[in-house]
């Protein structure tokens, strides 16, 4: 008999995920704004797919996390910055369309480090070149 995992099985963990260096950036035509272009999740979906699990969601959780993928990300991964990944895994375009069904897809925190290493080793040079190009364009007004 298959064991059914629930959202409670991976929520409220102490693990923290480092979002650093998994996003590609580009600049607007006039070079006045640096914006997110794409992310490694999209590029390497075929490597990520085996890590995605399906989790049962209670009616109370459906209500609590409705329209709040960034809150769910904070509760599961310890950072709201992976809300975009939760949206992508569950085929949602934006937070206003984030409604949960009986089951949802997530990557367990126990796999994030291995997944991170797999993806980063495949794209480290490309990411470094991208960051070296666009990161100096991001300035802070002090």
In a domain, 22, yes or no: no
Strand 103-106 with 53-56, pairing = antiparallel
pLDDT digits (tens, 9 = 90+) for 9-54: 777 555 555 444 566 677 777 877 777 677 666 777 777 888 899 9
Q: How many CB atoms lie within 10 A of CB 69?
A: 25
In a domain, 102, yes or no: yes
State the total domains in the chain: 1
In a domain, 28, yes or no: no
In a domain, 72, yes or no: yes
Decide: 44 and 123 in contact? Cβ < 8 Å.
yes
At 87, list the tokens. Answer: 């949206």
Average pLDDT of the segment spanning 97-122: 84
pLDDT digits (tens, 9 = 90+) for 64-107: 999 999 999 999 988 888 898 899 889 898 899 999 999 999 99
Give the range of the structural domain holding residue 45, as residue numbers without chain letter: 34-134
In a domain, 27, yes or no: no
Q: Is the pLDDT of residue 1 over 50?
A: no
CB-facing half-sphere around the CA of 81: CA atoms within 13 A: 12
- Which residue in the block uniquely carries the two structure tokens 């995920």? 17
Residue 90's pLDDT is: 92
């Amino acid at each position: 008999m298959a064991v059914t995992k629930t959202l409670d099985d991976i929520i409220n963990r102490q693990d923290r995920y480092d979002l650093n260096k998994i996003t590609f950036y580009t600049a607007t035509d006039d070079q006045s704004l640096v914006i997110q272009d794409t992310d490694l999740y999209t590029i390497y979906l075929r490597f990520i797919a085996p890590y995605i699990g399906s989790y049962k969601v209670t009616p109370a959780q459906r209500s609590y996390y409705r329209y709040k993928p960034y809150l769910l990300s904070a509760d599961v991964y310890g950072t709201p910055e992976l809300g975009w990944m939760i949206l992508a895994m569950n085929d949602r375009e934006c937070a206003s369309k984030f409604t949960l069904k009986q089951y949802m897809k997530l990557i367990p925190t126990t796999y994030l480090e291995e997944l991170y290493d797999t993806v980063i080793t495949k794209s480290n040079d490309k990411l470094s070149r991208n960051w070296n190009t666009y990161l100096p364009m991001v300035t802070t007004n002090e």
